Chain A
Amino acid sequence: MMTSENNLAMQDVTQIFRGAAMRSIGGELRAVDNLSLNLNANPPQIVSLVGQSGSGKSTLARIILGLPRPTEGSVTYCGKNIYALSGKEYETYRRDVQPVFQDPYGIFNPFYRVDRVFWTAIKKFKLTSSSRQGLARIEESLHAVDLRPEDVLNRYPHQLSGGQRQRVMLARIHLLQPKFIIADEPVSMLDAAVRVLFLNLLIDFTQKYGMTTLFITHDLSTAYYVGGEIRVISRGKIVESGSVEKVLIHPSHPYTQMLLASVPVPDPDARWQEKARIASEEEVILVEKPEIEAIG
């Protein structure tokens, strides 16, 4: 099962944040704690990673993208440590592992037209030889995510809606055809009606183009919707894993059960009857503060 050909894996990764901000919790914070995760692109699949804020989801995403170097442990791409790749191999890794970030407002430089997102990718990875070909590829990718090129090209980011911007990021992924997508809360800032369209595209990409997705979310219902495998993360550790059907219908870990109980059901006849404990929120505070410091 473990083909080293097509996999992206983390082995025993620990990420510790230290500094003045962590003084109140003993000087250091283990955002990711001795965690291993294997993403296999053969067959392509969607792996959801769920947890509350402060559980280490985003830190994990950043480590797998090679942004911060973990304190301990290693990240391997096709069996090779990403920090020991040759220049050429590193370029392949950079191209094959692509992110989709949470904030559709934060990812664009407001001074440049949206087109630049595509052209920098084309130039960096030398996708086409002429700009005419490039434009054709861009238009094809925009069509693949149900955007009309005339609505998007030559515009500035502020002229697009949040859903359009997030789909532009998917179009960029379509253009690059990576093997892995690391999607960190891609739909949490989108409206319900647009959210479903985005998730449908993500599902299609997995099936049509064989892209394996790490789908990070705090919303369990979206994780159920995309299907596949799920990992539940709490305080930097994976506490439960399995297929979404197994984990979300018959959760065994109390943390998963607590998360599930917190999902509001869209049915006015199924309102919550008993009170939720507040205590488990207070625990989170410890983790929440340093996370702000850690990004940057």
Chain B
Amino acid sequence: MANDLAKVVQKKTGIGSPLLDIEDLKVYYNTVNGVSKAVDGVNLSLKRGEILGIAGESGCGKSTLTTALLRLTQPPGYIAGGSILFHTAEEQAPLDLLELGGEALRAVRWRHLSYLPQGSMNALNPVLRIKEQFLDVMLEHSKIGKREALKMIPTLLAQVNLEPYVINMYPHELSGGMKQRVVLAMAIALNSDLVVADEPTTALDVHVQRIIIQMLADLRDSLGMTVILVTHDMAVHAQLADRVAVMYAGGIVEVGDVHQIFKTPKHPYTRGLINSIPRIGGERIRLDGIGGNTPSPRNWPSGCRFHPRCQHVMPVCKQEVPPLLQVVHRHSLDGEHQPLVACHLYSQPGLGGNHDDE
């Protein structure tokens, strides 16, 4: 890990400097039955050159968060509050993505912020050749000329291990994994500061998934890419992420280094997630999963939103919302790597939550 990061430093300047600060972001949907608070007060920061994983069950607000981040929120969704500060390489003052409009927003997209969508099979236009789709992006969002762009495309495709002839093909002539790689090549085409990958491997076969995961890891190492990786598959986070943020019911319940999340998860929800992964080999133990259902965003439970499904529920959990606080991690003294956890087991010393995970 440390070696990986050291390598990255040489590739791109400003590694480790802040890139993105999401503060108290709220994204709501107006529905017939009331306001649905899909993302409700998310705080998250991201440094250059890191891969931040966002984990959580479906319906916890992962995709709403990423669409808001890309400013793609569509009505009935709207941004109800908060800010997203984006530190670009060129400008001194950070941009507030939520304040941008029209042309300014267009200028940020793809130059600074690119997107690797879920099910990229549907992200490509079926009636255009791959070449034309690349040109679309490159001519629109940068000053690169057409001739130069055409020269660049084979190099980009080579970075994702695709042959140059692919540029003249139509999407239906490619397999799912190849299409995903084409979209990945498009996402890195303009060397944007941040790539948001929303479930990049979910629809793929295991072997193809492995190839895409390795490719993302390689690109991070060679280009110093910063990635937000959204997936519900914890094993993918274990393979790829540097830090993992666990979302539940529209909020972040735990953020920490990937090793900490997998070795000593703090929040009961994180523990539930980790303990639901079947493993090959060893004794076959019956896993418990997490009982109950994800609550409805129109009517979140009071207090800690996880309390109806939590095994460690205490009276305080039903009344007070636990703040996201730093938990002192026994195995490291480095303040940078302390996990943040929103759970009353840790926010109230003396209740004895700290030792039951040891």
Q: Which residues of A contact B (CB under 8 A)?
A: 52-53, 146, 151, 161-164, 191-197, 199-200, 218-222, 224-225, 227, 248-249, 258-272, 275-276, 278, 280-282, 284-285, 288-289
The reply to whether A192 and B207 form a contact with Cβ atoms under 8 Å apart is no
Residue of A nearest to B4 (CB): A271
- Could you tell me the distance in whole angstroms from the C-beta of A52 to the nearest C-beta in chain B? 5
Specify which chain A residues have a CB less than 8 angstroms from the CB of B286 in the assembled complex.
200
Docked-complex contact B209 and A264, CB < 8 angstroms: yes
Residues A268 and B258 in contact in the complex (CB < 8 Å), given A191-B58, A221-B280, A276-B211: yes
Instruction: Using C-beta atoms within 8 Å of the partner chain, give the interface range for chain B.
Output: 35 or more
B214, A195: Cβ atoms closer than 8 Å: no
Q: Which 3 A-B pairs have the closest CB atoms?
A: A225-B278, A196-B289, A264-B235
Contact A218–B206 (Cβ < 8 Å) = yes
Return the chain A residue nearest B177 by Cβ.
A281
From A199, which residue of chain B is reached at the shortest CB distance?
Answer: B278
Contact A196-B287, Cβ < 8 Å, known A161-B58, A288-B176: yes
Q: Considering only CB atoms, which chain B residue lies closest to A160 in the complex?
A: B293
Q: Check A267 against B278 for contact (C-beta < 8 Å).
A: no
Q: Cβ of A266 and Cβ of B284 under 8 Å apart? A: no
Q: Contact flags (1/0) for B257-286 with A, using CB distance below 8 Å? A: 011001000000000111011111100101
Q: Are B211 and A265 in contact (CB under 8 A)?
A: no
Q: Is the CB of A161 within 8 A of B293?
A: yes
Q: What are 7 contact pairs spanning A and B, CB under 8 A?
A: A222-B278, A249-B280, A264-B210, A272-B239, A276-B210, A278-B161, A281-B207
CB B183 to nearest CB in A, in angstroms, measures: 16
Is the C-beta of B63 less than 8 angstroms from some C-beta in chain A? no
Find out whether the CB atom of B161 lies under 8 angstroms from the CB atom of A266.
no
Give the A-binding residues of B (Cβ under 8 A): 57-59, 161, 172, 174-178, 205-211, 213-214, 232-236, 238-239, 241, 258-259, 262, 272-274, 276-281, 284, 286-291, 293-294
> How many Å lie between the Cα of A281 and that of B236 in the bound state?
19
A260 to B206, CA, bound (A): 9
Cross-interface CB contact of A266 among B174, B234, B291, cutoff 8 Å: B234
Interface pair B206/A192, CB less than 8 Å apart:
no
- Additional A-B contacts beyond A191-B57, A192-B277 (6; CB < 8 A): A53-B205, A192-B57, A195-B289, A196-B288, A261-B210, A264-B239
Give the chain A neighbours of B241 by CB distance below 8 A: 268
- Which chain A residue has the least Cβ–Cβ distance from B160? A278
Q: Given A191-B58, A196-B288, A197-B289, do A259 and B175 touch, yes or no (CB 8 Å)? A: no
CA distance A269 to B289 in the complex (A): 23
**Given A193-B276, A195-B276, A271-B239, A285-B211 contact (CB < 8 Å):** no
User: Could you tell me if A267 and B210 are in contact, using CB atoms closer than 8 angstroms?
Assistant: no
Q: With CB as the reference atom, state the residue of chain A lying closest to B244.
A: A268
CB-based contact B210/A192 at 8 Å = no
Q: Tell me the smallest distance from the CB of B102 to a CB of chain A, in Å.
A: 35
CB distance from B294 to the nearest CB of A (A): 7
A231 nearest CB across to chain B (Å): 17
Are B57 and A264 in contact (CB-based, < 8 A)?
Answer: no
B289's partner among A193, A258, A262, A275 (CB-CB below 8 A) is A193
In the complex the two chains form, is A259's CB within 8 Å of B207's CB?
A: yes
B178: chain A residues within 8 A (beta carbon)? 285
The residue from A146, A221, A222, A268 contacting B259, defined by CB atoms under 8 A apart: A268
Query: CA–CA, A268 to B235, complex, Å?
Result: 9
CB of B59 within 8 A of CB of A224, answer: no
Cα distance, A161 to B297, chains bound together (Å): 13
Q: Identify B276's interface contact among A192, A219, A258, A275, CB under 8 A.
A: A192
User: Which one, A162, A192, A248, A280, contacts B280 given CB within 8 A?
Assistant: A248
Choose among A194, A199, A222, A264 the residue that contacts B213 (Cβ–Cβ < 8 A). Answer: A264
Determine how close the nearest CB of chain A comes to the CB of B61; give it in whole angstroms: 14
Interface centre among B207, B234, B262, B273 (most CB of A within 10 A): B207
**What's the minimum C-beta distance from B4 to chain A, rounded to whole angstroms?**
10
Give every chain A residue within 8 A of B279 (Cβ-Cβ).
221, 224, 265-266
| Residues of B contacting A193 in the complex (Cβ-Cβ under 8 angstroms) | 57, 272-273, 276, 289-290
Q: How far is the CA of A191 from the CA of B233 in the complex (A)?
A: 8
Q: State the CA gap A275–B178 with chains docked (Å).
A: 17
Q: A221-B278, A266-B238 are in contact. Are A276 and B207 (CB under 8 A)?
A: yes
> Which of B174, B209, B214, B234 sits near A192, CB closer than 8 Å?
B234
A52 in contact with B206 (CB, 8 Å): yes
With CB as the reference atom, state the residue of chain B lying closest to A259: B206
Neighbouring A residues of B273 by C-beta, 8 Å: 192-193
Residues of A within 8 A of B289 (CB): 192-197, 200
Judging by beta carbons under 8 Å apart, are A248 and B235 in contact? no
Among A193, A262, A263, A265, residue most surrounded by chain B Cβ atoms (within 10 Å): A193
Pick the contact of A284: B57, B205, B280, B293 (CB < 8 A): B205
Cα separation A225 to B258 with both chains bound (whole Å): 25
- Beta-carbon contact of B281 and A249 below 8 Å: yes
Closest to B234 in A: A266
Docked CA distance A146–B288 (Å): 13
Given contacts A191-B58, A284-B175, contact A260 B239 (CB under 8 A): no
Chain B residues within an 8 Å CB radius of A272: 210, 213-214, 239
The answer to whether B280 and A220 have CB atoms under 8 Å apart is yes
Distance between A25 CB and nearest chain B CB, rounded to angstroms: 13
User: With the chains together, A289 CA to B172 CA distance in Å?
Assistant: 8
- Say yes or no: A161 contacts B277, CB within 8 Å: no
**Pair A269/B210 contact, Cβ less than 8 Å:** no
Inter-chain CA distance A199–B288, complex, in Å, is: 11
CB contact under 8 A between A263 and B239, given known A195-B289, A197-B291: no
